[in-house]
Amino acid sequence: MTRPLAVLFCPGRGSYGRAELGSIQRQLRPGPVADALAEADDARASQGRPTITELDAAQSFRPGLHLDGQNAAELIYFATMAWLEGAAERYEIGAIAGNSLGWYTAMPAAGAMTVRDGWALVAAMARLQKLATGGQILTTTVDPATWQPDTALVEGIEQALAEVAGRGEDHFVARSIRLGGHEVLAGTEKGVTALLELLPKVKSTEREFPFRLAGHGPFHTELCADVAREATHELAVLPVREPQTTLIDGRGDIHTPWSGDPRHLRFYTTDTQVRTTYDFTASVWTAIREFQPDVLLCAAPGQSLRAPVGHVVLREGYRGLRTKDALFASDLVRTD
């Protein structure tokens, strides 16, 4: 029986939470992921840091520990990679994209790097990101109940960004991630604090937008220019190779197994996407329109990409889906 055609989306920071504890161990199989994890654990233990296996096996989720950048990044990476081995048996993966940190996962997931090198990339980037100070905010442009766009929210965000940016260099703010109907904004401490006050407030049943993303830096903005410079230098020999599955990057551009250029991929990974807006919306848009998948598969850990992917499906009207209810009934966006 043919497997459904899927495009895979690898999640970024904030996807490994309480519910994901133990998920790596549950899904891990002998093979390259397990081998890379063992190597990662060894390296971390030798540095006196908690191993990924220990963090995953913890009885309770400790935000101070689990959400620390260097812990969270590797946890998420291995959680995705461990999950993926099973998913690849259930689906034919037509293309792979990621969100932010998920882009690093997408690279080895698509075969553009080994699992071990993917871990090295994730670990290095998590370490280097500490060079940038500031934060990230998550907010939304859609009605949480219906996922339909709300132009007042869009305008409110524009106004808030313009107003804060006008307060001077120490109030630098920018778009960090276009995340379907959500928007991730980032900036300096002062910028982010001011934005939180000015952005329109939106209540949903689960949470209230906007909110600060704990432990996150000003990713994908010019505030990460130093990170990009160091990463490009340090990872200059990162062994990137042609992907085996088409990659869709954070501009919506494709890198195919046949013509994908490892040098471009490396530069994009260590420089371009580090300091410019990550357009996850564009990658979903490309995935839908150019690959026409049966399933939009949001990789573990967590379910954080379900909503952003769903927002884009509704905006596009893909396969006639234009309402949240219809989308949920369709089973188009899946996490397993």
Partner 1 sequence: MSIRREHKVAGRFEALLDLHHGPDPDRTGPMDGPIVPGVALTRRTAVRLLEAGLQSRLQDLEARRMKDEGRSYYTIGSSGHEANAVFGHLLRTTDPALLHYRSGAFVAARARRAHGETPIFDAMLSFAAAAEDPISGGRHKVLGSESLWIPPQTSTIASHLPKAVGLAIGVARLHRLGLPCALPEDSVVYCSFGDASSNHATAQAGFNAAAAAVQHKQPCPVIFACEDNGIGISTRTPDNYIEQMFKRRPSLDYFAADSRDVPSAFTQALAAIDHCRRTRRPVFFHLKTVRLMGHAGSDVETVYRTEEELERVEAQDPLLAFADLLLSTGAISRDGLRTLYTDMRRRIERAGREASSRPKIRTAAQVRAPLELPAADTLRGRSANEARRRQVFGDRLPEADPRPRHLAFRLAQGLKDVLAAYPESLLFGEDVAKKGGVYHVTAGLYETFGPARVFNTILDETTILGLAQGMAQVGALPIPEIQYLAYVHNALDQIRGEAASLQFFSEGRFANPMVVRIAGYAYQKGFGGHFHNDNSIGALLDIPGLIIASPARGDDAVGMLRTCVAAAAEAGKVCIFLEPIALYMQKDLHEKGDSLWECAYPEPGEAVPLGQARVHGASDDDDLTIVSWANGLFMSMQAQKRLAEEGIRARVLDLRWLAPLPVEAVKEHARATGRVLLVDECRATAGGPSPLLATALATDPSCRDVVIRRIAGDDTYVPLAEAANLVLIQTDDVVDAARSLAQEERR
In whole angstroms, how close is the CB of 216 to partner 1 at the nearest point? Answer: 25
**Contact partners, residue 278, CB within 8 Å, separation at least 6:** 99, 100, 103, 176, 177, 178, 219, 220, 250
In whole angstroms, how close is the CB of 93 to partner 1 at the nearest point? Answer: 12
Using CB under 8 A, list all residues that contact partner 1: 5, 94, 242, 246, 251-254, 256-259, 261, 263, 279, 282, 285-286, 289-292, 317-320
| Joined tokens for residue 308 | 């952003």
Q: Helices 69-90 and 32-46 sit at what angle, rounded to 10 degrees?
A: 170
SS (H, E, C) 92-130: EEEEEEECCHHHHHHHHHCCCCCHHHHHHHHHHHHHHHH
Closer by beta carbon to partner 1, 85 or else 242: 242
Closer by beta carbon to partner 1, 21 or else 254: 254
| Joined tokens for residue 290 | 């150019």
Closer by beta carbon to partner 1, 93 or else 195: 93
In whole angstroms, how close is the CB of 251 to partner 1 at the nearest point? Answer: 4
In whole angstroms, how close is the CB of 204 to partner 1 at the nearest point? Answer: 29
| Joined tokens for residue 243 | 């992907």
Closer by beta carbon to partner 1, 68 or else 249: 249
In whole angstroms, how close is the CB of 284 to partner 1 at the nearest point? Answer: 11
Closer by beta carbon to partner 1, 190 or else 319: 319
DSSP conformational letter for 137: E
Closer by beta carbon to partner 1, 92 or else 163: 92
Cα(334)–Cα(164) distance, integer angstroms? 38
Cα(52)–Cα(50) distance, integer angstroms? 7
In whole angstroms, how close is the CB of 254 to partner 1 at the nearest point? Answer: 8
In whole angstroms, how close is the CB of 257 to partner 1 at the nearest point? Answer: 7
- Burial tier of 201 (Cβ tally within 10 Å: 0-12, 13-18, 19+): exposed
Question: Tokens 């209540």 sit at which residue?
Answer: 203
Closer by beta carbon to partner 1, 171 or else 315: 315
Q: Hey, how many other C-beta atoms are within 10 angstroms of the C-beta on 336?
A: 11
Q: Cβ distance 165 to 224 under 8 Å?
A: no
Q: How crowded is the C-beta side of 267, counted as CA atoms within 13 Å? A: 5
